[in-house]
Amino acid sequence: LAKTTQPISMDSYEGQEVNITCSHNNIATNDYITWYQQFPSQGPRFIIQGYKTKVTNEVASLFIPADRKSSTLSLPRVSLSDTAVYYCLVARNTGGFKTIFGAGTRLFVKA
């Protein structure tokens, strides 16, 4: 399963758009890409999932290029409450269930 690499930390200001990129060079055909948000003393919370191209929901967008070797989570107009750790996950259900989480990107949003 693909190893996932993401930046350790990022800083931003309120109202800005934040893009966090995850690298997964060895992603396989059956793998899906998912992003999670985690606050201290809480479990990770699902943000968005995709397979290819672009997916958008009410809180974020996920951009996946054609070769799928990376993915970018885009958070529009962040607020202080978006300060959290964001995890990239590559997972598959075929040939046995497997998941590889990135080490997480700590986003700090400043006023």
Partner 1 sequence: DADVTQTPRNRITKTGKRIMLECSQTKGHDRMYWYRQDPGLGLRLIYYSFDVKDINKGEISDGYSVSRQAQAKFSLSLESAIPNQTALYFCATSGTEVAGELFFGEGSRLTVL
Return the number of the residue (22 or 75) whose C-beta is nearest partner 1.
22
* Binding residues vs partner 1 (CB under 8 A): 4, 31-34, 36, 41-46, 49, 87, 89-93, 96-104
Q: How far is the CB of 102 from partner 1 (least distance, A)?
A: 6
In Å, how far from its chain's centre is CA 68?
13
Q: How far is the CB of 104 from partner 1 (least distance, A)?
A: 6
Return the number of the residue (28 or 74) whose C-beta is nearest partner 1.
28
Residue 92, CA distances (Å) to 21, 59, 68, 97 in order:
20, 24, 14, 6
Q: Which residues of 72-104 are buried (b: 16+ CB within 10 A; e: fewer)?
A: bbbbeebeeebbbbbbbbbbbeeeeeeebebeb
Return the number of the residue (33 or 109) whose C-beta is nearest partner 1.
33
Q: How far is the CB of 50 from partner 1 (least distance, A)?
A: 10
